[in-house]
Chains A and B, each alone.
Chain A
């Protein structure tokens, strides 16, 4: 392919191969799939033992939350669940790169980022249970509500970054998107705006290889991070299953944004191990062998291997995290099954800051109608 021949082409993860893709250019990696710590000439990361163990804990707890949510959906407790299985490192690495003054704009799969922002998992679960559209406070958590229309949030993120810029605020914005979203006009507009106004925003694209069923090559004929050059800002591809590399790359990009250097596009090269959502059947569009290959690059196993081999964590630590994960899963299960349905009138609340007389009348009529059933049952 003429495009890829212009760059150094190596397999993204040596020896593993991504059979459905042409050979890929290099990507930033600090921790190999085997758990070997490697250096990168441009990106370095110096974490102490506590920080390394904390990252493992994040990854393990987020995965446990995700597995529990999938189980809850299977048991009829959730309407749907969008699993992040396999993308834990991309999300935890990106989320932990954020500072308190930063703001994140997620898609609908960033449960791992929500975790790093202190969002209660039950406030995410409530969305998928159909109780609300997300129960967390987007201002207090600096984590916007989930956006379901693909890519729309990248413009919100860019506008928010322009606001930070106008306010002379310190922060930067992390805009999440997927590989499919890069085809959206609005995402391209966001990148144009971000470049033209030098907005402090980082576009964090989790390339998990599929937009539901459609593989990446239908979205792009060039590696996604190379798109950034066309907009006039840097793009970098990072091993999305390497939490250390994601953390280092995203930190650097956010720091550049805060310093007034404008946007960066980060492509976190990863893989959606599970289905798009619990309604999806990935066996219809991808090979089991592909999944098996990506299992070898599991984002959590490599951290565990590294922590063990380097003596940073012992079995007691892993047991303690396991126990904490069990507690978290039990709390999520209990909180989900005990979650009350909202009152019927909730749909009328907050449609407007100033409710209209028309809507107030409609609500009154609704209440009167509902009351007829209560009377009938008395």
Chain B
């Protein structure tokens, strides 16, 4: 039987295992990913089965993880780097932005950089500072990087394998507060392409866009809205860079209204870019401005305040109401 019920975390673990079986050049690198199996246990059991050379407990230095991954990639390896928490990616930011992203272009294609940077991102787990952030815009703004975010176990299982097999560097964002969400995963299925958005719920009134942890929130909002007779169309963007907005544009041309939801602060977040592009492509169809729901322009707050900070069902519905009010 090829179908099994998996959490996102377990689906990632199985996907990593399968990628390592498929290609001996795949090497996992990160802090505590070996004997411990990672702080979220995503790499649980992999060092035991693949050895210390393929699941490498690195020294505690994120720039070192990414910098040595560059050198390994130049030797034909496919490094998969785990950044323990979103807020810990910044020590590696220089290597990611000035090196990983640029080396293919710098070398005029002579050097490939098939590096995957796995980052558990987003809040909602009651953690301390730097454990709940959404840094995707920094990477989406960087030419040479691709950025994807998974929202469910099926995409987690396939997406991690597709990202590892891809020739360009990919920031692979994992919705940490959804790690334990379950779904049926058919490991013999044909997966959707990695760089494609997906319509996950049909509707007529407002097109609502989300990715990563917010997809579930938006689907819950759509359920609630339906009870009030309001029909939301929901798109899981899945790929943040490049954006795949063709399905979004088709949808907005029908609904005339668009709301973008993410946890990251709204200013210059993905919503801003999406609003600009949707406006350009759908100007004559829009009945309302594209609205954004996101984190406030504050540092991610102490956890007692995160429920107020994070977009939730009610804030999504509030934006939907405002979109309908135009």
Spell out A's residues near B (CB within 8 Å): 132-134, 137-139, 144-145, 147, 149, 152, 154-164, 166-167, 185-186, 189-190, 192-193, 196, 349-354, 356-359
Q: Which residues of A contact B144 (CB under 8 A)?
A: 351-352
Please measure, in the bound complex, the distance between the C-alpha atom of A192 and the C-alpha atom of B58, giving whole angstroms: 10
Across-interface contacts of A351 in B (CB, < 8 A) = 104-105, 143-144
Residues of A contacting B: mostly: helix
Interface residues of B in 56-89 (CB under 8 A from A): 58-59, 61, 63-64, 66-77
A163 and B243 contacting across the interface, CB-CB below 8 Å: no
B200-244 interface (Cβ within 8 A of A): 241-243
Contacting pair A354 B109 (CB below 8 A): no
Residues of A within 8 A of B105 (CB): 133, 349-351
B contact residues vs A (CB 8 Å cutoff): 53, 58-59, 61, 63-64, 66-77, 91, 94-95, 98-99, 103-112, 143-144, 146, 166-168, 195, 241-243
Return chain A residues, CB-CB under 8 Å to B63.
Answer: 155, 185-186, 189
CB distance from A276 to the nearest CB of B (A): 20
The answer on a CB contact under 8 Å between A163 and B76 is yes
User: Are the C-beta atoms of A192 and B108 separated by less than 8 Å?
Assistant: no
Question: Quick one: which of A156, A193, A349, A359 contacts B70, CB cutoff 8 A?
Answer: A156
Also in contact, A359 and B242, with CB within 8 A (given A149-B98, A155-B63, A166-B53):
yes
Which listed residue, A144, A190, A350, touches B109 by the CB 8 Å rule? A350
Tell whether, in the assembled complex, residue A192 and residue B59 are in contact, meaning their CB atoms are under 8 Å apart. yes
Q: List 25 A-B contacts (CB under 8 A).
A: A133-B105, A134-B106, A144-B74, A152-B67, A155-B71, A158-B68, A158-B71, A159-B71, A160-B71, A162-B68, A163-B75, A166-B53, A166-B77, A167-B75, A185-B61, A185-B63, A185-B91, A186-B64, A186-B94, A190-B64, A350-B104, A351-B144, A352-B167, A353-B167, A356-B241
- A186 CB contact (under 8 Å) in B74, B95, B241: B95
**Cβ distance B76 to chain A, nearest Cβ, rounded Å:** 7
Partner of B99, one of A134, A152, A185, A358: A152
Shortest Cβ distance from A192 into B: residue? B59
The winner among A132, A152, A157 for most chain B CB atoms within 10 A is A152
How far, in Å, is A106 (CB) from chain B's closest CB?
13
Chain B residues lying within 8 Å of A159, measured Cβ to Cβ, are 67-75
Using known A-B contacts A185-B63, A357-B242, determine if residue A163 contacts B195 with beta carbons closer than 8 Å. Answer: no
Are the C-beta atoms of B71 and A157 separated by less than 8 Å?
yes
Top 9 nearest A-B pairs by Cβ distance?
A159-B71, A155-B67, A163-B75, A159-B68, A160-B71, A353-B167, A189-B64, A356-B242, A350-B109
Task: Find chain A residues with CB under 8 A from B69 CB.
Answer: 159
Query: Beyond A160-B71, A349-B108, A356-B195: 18 further Cβ-contacts under 8 Å?
Result: A133-B106, A145-B107, A147-B99, A152-B95, A156-B99, A159-B73, A163-B71, A163-B72, A185-B63, A186-B64, A189-B64, A193-B59, A196-B59, A351-B105, A351-B144, A352-B144, A352-B167, A353-B112
Partner of B59, one of A139, A189, A353, A358: A189
CB distance from B136 to the nearest CB of A (A): 16
**Cβ-closest chain B residue relative to A201:** B71
Inter-chain contact B70/A189, CB cutoff 8 Å: no
Is A354 a contact of B68 with CB atoms below 8 Å?
no
| Contact residues in B for A154 (Cβ distance below 8 Å) | 67
Interface-central residue, B72, B98, B106, by most chain A CB under 10 Å: B106
Chain B residue at minimal CB-CB distance from A161: B71
In the assembled complex, which residues on chain B have CB atoms less than 8 Å from the CB atom of A149? 94, 98-99
A223 to chain B, nearest CB (A): 25
- Complex contacts, A134 vs chain B, CB 8 Å: 106-107
Contacts of A158 in B (CB 8 A): 67-68, 71
Chain B residues with Cβ below 8 Å from A156 are 67-68, 70-71, 74, 99
A137 touches B110 (CB 8 A): yes
Which residue of the partner chain A has the closest CB to B76? A163
Contact A358 B75 (CB under 8 A): no
User: Closest residue to B103 on the A side, CB-wise?
Assistant: A145
Beta-carbon nearest neighbor of B62 in chain A: A189
Give the distance to chain A from B280, nearest Cβ to Cβ, in Å: 12
CA gap between A115 and B209 in the complex, in Å: 54
B53 smallest CB distance to A (angstroms): 6
A10-B104 Cα distance, complex, nearest whole Å: 47
Q: Indicate if the CB atoms of A192 and B64 lie closer than 8 Å.
A: yes
A189 touches B146 (CB 8 A): no
How far apart sit A160 and B76, CA to CA, in the bound complex (Å)? 10
Pair B111/A138 contact, Cβ less than 8 Å: yes
CA separation between A139 and B144, bound complex, in Å? 21
Question: Which residue from chain B places its CB closest to the CB of A135 in the assembled complex?
Answer: B108
Shortest CB distance A159–B (Å): 2
